[in-house]
Every structure is written in structure tokens, then in C-alpha cells.
Structure 1
Amino acid sequence: MLQIKQLTITHKKDLRVIVKDFSLVLNPGDKAVLIGEEGNGKSTLLKWIYNPELIEGYTETQGERICTGEHPGYLPQELPAEEKEKTVYEYFCGEDAFGLQTPRELTHLAGQLKLPPDFFYRDQKMDTLSGGEKVKAQMARLLMARPTILLLDEPSNDIDIETLEWLEKLIMEALQPVLFISHDEMLIERTANMVIHIEQLKRKTESRCSIAKTGYRQYAKNRAEQLASQEQRALGERREEKKRQEKFRRIEQAVNHDLNSMTRQNPHGGYLLKKKMKAVKSLEKRYEREALDRTEIPETEDAIFFKLGEAVKMPAGKTVLEFSLDRLLTPVSGEEEPRLLAEHLFLRIKGGERVCITGKNGAGKTTLLKQMAEQLLSRTDVRACYMPQNYEDLLEPDRTPVDFLSETGDKEETTRIRTYLGSMKYTVDEMNAPMSELSGGQKAKVLLLKMSLSGADVLILDEPTRNFSPLSGPVIRAILRQYRGAILSISHDRKYIEEVCTAVYQLTPGGLVRMETEKQQCDRNGQD
């Protein structure tokens, strides 16, 4: 069992309260998902639960953590820098339990994660693995240690659909408590039986944390109904209050008028009017007391808002990309010989198409997308923008969001950029913070905003939704679905594939194979 009592976490730099008086009990069988907008402190909370020392450098904390006799296992959002230069074998040797695994156990674990049996002994550097392979390696090492509590920060990031389904099964069948952060709505809907919702209200000056022992869909439904009911009740009370106040003012004005005109001529009548005025004042005080008890208008974190490609006009028949490649090889890495990933590749994209490439981890999707991006970015008849899987490929760690988005640096442009960043839920401090201090979701927002400001008519997106919360995800999908240009993307996000993409291809060793989405299958079956 894990117990947290009255935890308050305050950021040292801007004194922002991440959580206040937060208490939680996790029992065996609990599968709790931690949700909230990007940059709200979900990862900070998860780190504290695993080891409070991990956040001592940038936070002040008060509260109690009780996990006596427990052995928590923690999956960080990103592979620690000191681990990236190790070989795969060296990385696993860093876990004592690795040496205790039998060949049969390692083969079984590799099979579960869809990894080759020799994966654990590779001399390949961890940093050269695909994003999905890195996550799988971390999950494998974590499971070897047999933790009694699972703390998972974005375990669904970068892994292929087949492994996502394995992860869902792992979480659902886990006997130990599981607390996880994920941006994969489908995984959350299928696995979570408890929702912990962190919100930053009033321009991130006030923290609120809600805990519901229910599934995510039910939580979202209940929350929407409760907020709508509370808002309706609050607005109704204010309308009634306004009517009472107007009636009260009319009575007060009438009594004042009569009092002024009658006091000298009719002392007895003036006395009665004064008594009436006293009753009016008493009524006013009663109304004031009632106003203190009225229902508050519910305050929630607003969803992000931005527009993408409103001015884009691309003819539907225009050939945006016609790409062919005989052999796709792994990038050159040190002395390692390039490996053949796929061959006989061909892809044609027309204006208005929204294409997604899927495939197993390590199949070469990002390598392929980079080559396609080079071709598109060099073209003069289209305006292409690229969002890489690794944001640091484009974002310099010392630059601020305002600097990155500025073209001229003039005052008018800076004001406009700050307004746009505000619509993406950035505080003033975050607008001026170096990129290295921002969360993955905040970095993703900056890149999307850059695309919006550039007027791009072709978007090249490597896992575009992976760092957006389940609260922002629907907004991002709706914006991309309405985009009038062409989209070339890689994704394992099943909701993105279903709701946004008009064509899906799977990268296989033999080339790109056109796939049907679940919606297309249903449409076809309905016609049959």
C-alpha cells in the first residue's frame, strides 16, 4: 500500500503551488491515472512519490509519504542522460536483478515486449535505439526488479500498437498498485479505475486536485454533468439575485422619496416611514448574507486554443509528394554497419490528404520520415514544416519560446506571440523560460504554434500527439482534422489515426502497405 498525507509541493522559482494538501491511498488492484494540462507538475508529483530527493533542487515540499516494506518501480519520461551513452548490455547490467534472470525468463520477457531474444546483449548504444525500443528497454529493466508498486511516466510514448496492447494487458492484470501518466486516451479508457486530476486555476496561481474512483470515461461524463449543473444553478441564483436587488432598489427609492416629502408635514407618517426604512435595511442585510452562500460559478482549466492553416489553399489534385526508395538503411552510427530496414518503398500524397505511417518499433519510420522531410523542405512550390520526434533537434535548450517564434523581434510581433502563447496556456514566466525547463507538451505546443505562424501548407509530424494530455488531445485532433493542407505523419495514437487520417500505411521490410482503419472497416462491412 502507498499512502500520501497532506502533500504540498511549491516550485522554488515562481512559487507556484503544484499540489496543495494532497492525500492519496493506493491499494493493490488500483490503476490510477494522473491527468492534467501540460506543465501542471504531473511528472514532478510522480518523481516525489518514487523518491522525494529527485525534486529537491527545484521544489519545496511538505507532507508525508508512507510505503513501508514496498519496493516502488519508476519509469521516467525520458531515459536519463547518463544512461544514453551505455550499450544496451551495459544498461541492463545496471540492474542487479538482470544477473539473476534465467535464459528462459529473458526469452519470455523479450517475447512479451516484441524484442529479439538477443536484445539484452547488444553492443548498440542506448541513444541510437528508436524511441519505442528505449521505452521497451526501460520497461524490461523495471519488470526484472519485480516492483511492488508501478510508477509509470508516459509508458505509452513511442511504442507501437502491438506493444501498446501488451501494456494495456500488463496494467489491467497487475496485482500491485499502478500509478501512471499517459496521453493515450484509449489506454487510459481501457485500464484506469481511478482518476487523479491536477488543475492549475486563476492563471496558474491556484492548485486543485480531484480524485475519483471511477474509469476515465465515467469521470469525464460525471465532471461535465456536475460542472454544467453547478453553472446552471449558479447563473439561476444570480438572475434571481439581480431581480431581488432591482425590486429592493425600487422600494428603497420609493421610501426615501416619501420620507423626504412627508417628515415635516406629517410627523406620524414620517415615523412610520422610518420604521419601514429600517425594515428595508434589514432586508438588504439578509440579501447580502444570502449572496455569501450562493453557488460559485465553476472554474476549470481552459483547453488550449489555436488556429492552424486558415489561409491555406491547396488544390486537392496537387501532387504534394512522390517518393520512391529502393533500400532504406539505418543511419550510420560509429563503426556499426548500416542495416537494411525496408526496400521497394513508394508513396504518393495529394493535396488535402492526411497520411499516417505506422509500423513496429525499429522498423525505420523516423528514418524514412526524415528522408521524406528533406525532399519536402527543399521544395519551393510547397511550404513544409517539420515536427521531429526529438524536439531538441529544432529547439535550442537556452532559447525561450518567445525567441524561437520571433522573426523580426519588433514590439508588435512580440506582443502577438505572447498573445498566442497565452492561448496555449503559457504563463508569463514560461514564455520567458529556457526550453530546457519546459515539459514535452509545452515544447510540442511551441512547434505547433511555429507551424501555425509560418502558414505552412504541408505538415510533417513525427508522433504529434504523444505529449498532449487527454484534455488537450481532442482539441489537437480536431484542429489537424480541419487542416486544409496535406499532412504526412507517424503515429501509434489510435484515436489520432481514426479521427484525423485519411490514409494509413504500415512500414514493413517489403515496403509501405496500405491499411484500413477501424472506421473504414466498419464502413465497408456496413456496405456489404
Structure 2
Amino acid sequence: MLQIKDLTVSRARDGYPLISKLSFNLHKGDKLALIGAEGNGKTALLRVICQPELAASYLQWEGSISHKPWRLGYLEQECSQALLSQSVSDFILPYLEDADIFRQAGQLDLDPALFYVSRPLSQLSGGERMKIRLLALIMDRPDIYILDEPGNDLDLAGIAFVENLIQELQEPVLYVSLDETLLERTATGILHIEQIWRRTEARASFSGLGFRDYQKAYLYNYEKQNQLAAKAEADYQKQRRRHLEIQDKVHRDQINISRADPSGGRLLKKKTHAVKSTGRRMERQYENRIKRTDREDLLDFFLADMPGLPNDKDLLRLELEQLRVGDRLLAKDIRLHVRGNERIGLTGTNGCGKSTLLALIRDQLSERRDLS
């Protein structure tokens, strides 16, 4: 249904390579997860497939992309400014005639009353916006789903909905995610985009394995290839030293024969030719040897590298009677005490005030001179 053949993508302004000679097919029932580090070209690939006119303003590519007559449904990672300025009611109105939207909203834990508000989408929480956009995409019923980090900003109910959606869809799905649990539970194949050798070379790998099996195979193949490459290099250096010794001996014999036995020169000439031929063959084999490979971390979570703090250091004491945005009461009676190296997860439904609370905490901590 979706066919990509020999696709190479680079940035238009400087030719920086993002994707090199990528080929894959997406068929009915496939759940292909697109993984890779930030900035490796995952969104660029989806844009080239779904929005080539927009992508042409900052990307250049060659190769073939075919999906017609099948209709693509694209969930972008971020909302456009035009969409953010649109009211929720205007955005969702075309889909309200389908009663299934209310069932889907219930599974998303989204209040249908939100469908009728006149506030622009920019005034919704990130999770509420994502849920509204997911609903619109589902109601549009595309033939192929293209999802760019669909779990972003979602609460637990929303993440469970996305997981179930990907699992249950009969249509093919190509999606970006950094959520290892979601990847493990949904992916039937992996498309891994990397920037290797200090981000000078683009590499794309396609696998029909699930996420955990792909992780294991990826690390095994990486270590195995580098072991074989190290052995090939050691064998070559050993052969090269031996070849140089033979070459030096032949050269000395050539000098001695030229002086003492000119008639033996013809035999030595053949030997010299054989030594040179062996050297050329060795160099050709060396060029075609198993070469050392490079890799990126599959998923890199930065908290593990943060410097530690004394366990008894007071970081935050927050007492808040009410948390509001304008005239909306989001939460009340908040008491939060954070010390040292504690890791505290903040959970709740979309729109309940998590981001608002974090912004308040950030503002308080930014005034602390004993924290950097």
C-alpha cells in the first residue's frame, strides 16, 4: 500500500544527509515503528511522504514514493499556527455527525462537552489537543495511518487508547515513538534511522522483528561485526608484515644475482612479479573486508547522567491553596516537599494542570541561587 524505493533525503541549505537509499513496503496490518535519536530525520521522512510541498521548502530528496490510490492520514507532532488559532468547535464540527466519535471520546477519557467550546485549540492543554486531533484523524478513516509521536502529552488513558488503536487497526500504521513500552506492545517491524561516525553518515535499517527482539539483534550484530572487523584487520596486518619480509628478501636477492649471476635474473623476475601480484590481491581483499561499524544508543534518557545532590538538600517546599488558569480552578490544597535526589512523577488527566504546576515550580526554582 505504501512503497518507498531508494529514498535519499538531505537538508536543502547544506546538503546534510538525513536518510540514505531507504527502501521498504508497508502492507495491510503492518505496524512499523520508526525509531532513532532526535534530529535524525524521522519527522523529515514523514513530511516527505505526507506533505511533499511543505517538505520541499527545506529538504531535497530523490527516489520513489508510491501510495495512490490509498489515502494517507497524517498526525503531525506539532500543530500548525493556523490550526492553533481555529476554535475547537469549528475543528471538530465536520465529524460530529458520526456517533462513533462519542464512543471514541469516552475511551480517551475526553469530555464531549469540549467539542462545543469556542476557545481556540491553542488554549487547550497539550494532551487535550492531541486527543482532539486523534479523534479527527480516526473519524477521517484514512487507508494508511502516519503518526508522529502520538503519545506526546497524553495522560494514562490517552496512552492506553493509542496502544489499543495501533494494535486493533487493520490499516497499515507507520509511527514514531520513543515510548519503549508502546513500541514493545505494538510494533510488528522496526525502521531505525541513525546518524553514525560523528553524524557524518546516514544509515537506515529495516527489520521485521518486534522492538525487544530488534534491540537484542541490533546489539549482537554490532558487537559481532566489530569483532570480525578486528580479526580481519589483525589478519591483514600479519599478512602484510610477512609480505614485506618476502618483498625485501626478493629485492636483496635481485641485487646479489645482478652482480654474481646475471643469467639467474629471468627466474627472479618471475618471482618479483608473483610477489607484486600477491600484494595487489591482498589490497583488494582488504578493501572488501568486514569493516568496523558504528552505532547510536537506541534510546538515550538523559536523567541518568545528571549530577547528584545531597540527599537531605531541600529543593522545593510548595504549599498552594488553589491552582488556577484565569477563572478555571485546576487543583487545590497542593502540598509538595522535594529533597535531594528524589524522582517524583506527576500524573493526572489531560487539562488538570500538570504543565501549569510545573511552570510554577520552574519559576520558583529559577530564583534559587544555590541551584544551577
| TM-score of the pair, normalised by structure 2 | 0.91
Q: Residue 229 of structure 1 aligns with which residue?
A: 224
**1:101 aligned onto 2:98:** yes
Q: Residue 340 of structure 1 aligns with which residue?
A: 329
Q: Residue 372 of structure 1 aligns with which residue?
A: 361
CA contact (8 A) 1:40 1:199 kept: yes
Task: Please tell me the residue identity of whatever aligns with 1:100.
Answer: E
**1:19 aligned onto 2:16:** no
Task: Please tell me the residue identity of whatever aligns with 1:117.
Answer: P
Following superposition, the deviation at residue 271 of structure 1 comes to 5.0
2: CA distance between counterparts of 1:323 and 1:305?
Answer: 27
Distance 1:151 1:233, change over 3 A: same
Task: Please tell me the residue identity of whatever aligns with 1:239.
Answer: A
Segments of 5+ residues of structure 1 without an aligned counterpart are 333-337, 384-455, 457-528
SS at structure 1 position matched to 2:228:
helix
2: CA distance between counterparts of 1:259 and 1:35?
Answer: 61
1: CA distance between counterparts of 2:130 and 2:336?
Answer: 29
Following superposition, the deviation at residue 56 of structure 1 comes to 2.0
Aligned-residue Cα RMSD (Å) equals: 2.3
**1:210 aligned onto 2:205:** yes
Task: Please tell me the residue identity of whatever aligns with 1:194.
Answer: G
- Range that drifts further, 295-304 or 57-66: 295-304
Task: Please tell me the residue identity of whatever aligns with 2:188.
Answer: N
CA contact (8 A) 1:92 1:120 kept: yes
Segments of 5+ residues of structure 2 without an aligned counterpart are none
CA contact (8 A) 1:43 1:153 kept: yes
The Cα offsets for residues 125-170 of structure 1, whole Å up to 9 and x where unpaired, read as 2111111111111101111111121111110111012211121111
SS at structure 1 position matched to 2:330:
strand
Task: Please tell me the residue identity of whatever aligns with 2:49.
Answer: I
Following superposition, the deviation at residue 85 of structure 1 comes to 1.9
2: CA distance between counterparts of 1:183 and 1:350?
Answer: 29
Following superposition, the deviation at residue 76 of structure 1 comes to 0.7
Identify which of 100, 112, 118 aligns with 2:113. Answer: 118
Following superposition, the deviation at residue 301 of structure 1 comes to 4.2
Following superposition, the deviation at residue 316 of structure 1 comes to 1.8
Q: Residue 475 of structure 1 aligns with which residue?
A: none
Q: How does 1:408-447 map to 2 (within 5 A)?
A: none
Q: Residue 134 of structure 1 aligns with which residue?
A: 129
Q: How many residue pairs were aligned?
A: 370
1: CA distance between counterparts of 2:10 and 2:122?
Answer: 33
CA contact (8 A) 2:163 2:186 kept: yes
Following superposition, the deviation at residue 236 of structure 1 comes to 0.6
CA contact (8 A) 1:201 1:299 kept: yes
Q: Percent sequence identity over matched residues?
A: 38
| TM-score of the pair, normalised by structure 1 | 0.66
2: CA distance between counterparts of 1:289 and 1:374?
Answer: 63
- Range that drifts further, 278-287 or 215-224: 278-287
2: CA distance between counterparts of 1:114 and 1:347?
Answer: 27
Distance 1:58 1:277, change over 3 A: same
Distance 1:252 1:109, change over 3 A: same
Following superposition, the deviation at residue 80 of structure 1 comes to 1.1
Q: Residue 42 of structure 1 aligns with which residue?
A: 42
SS at structure 2 position matched to 1:357:
coil
CA contact (8 A) 2:33 2:176 kept: yes
Q: Residue 147 of structure 1 aligns with which residue?
A: 142
Following superposition, the deviation at residue 199 of structure 1 comes to 2.4
Q: Residue 466 of structure 1 aligns with which residue?
A: none
Following superposition, the deviation at residue 379 of structure 1 comes to 2.7
Distance 1:124 1:7, change over 3 A: same
**1:251 aligned onto 2:246:** yes
Distance 1:328 1:202, change over 3 A: same
The Cα offsets for residues 55-111 of structure 1, whole Å up to 9 and x where unpaired, read as 122223333333233222111111111121222112213xx3x14223xx3321210
Distance 1:328 1:212, change over 3 A: same
**1:184 aligned onto 2:173:** no
The Cα offsets for residues 275-330 of structure 1, whole Å up to 9 and x where unpaired, read as 433332232222223223211222334787999555x6x4322222221112222x
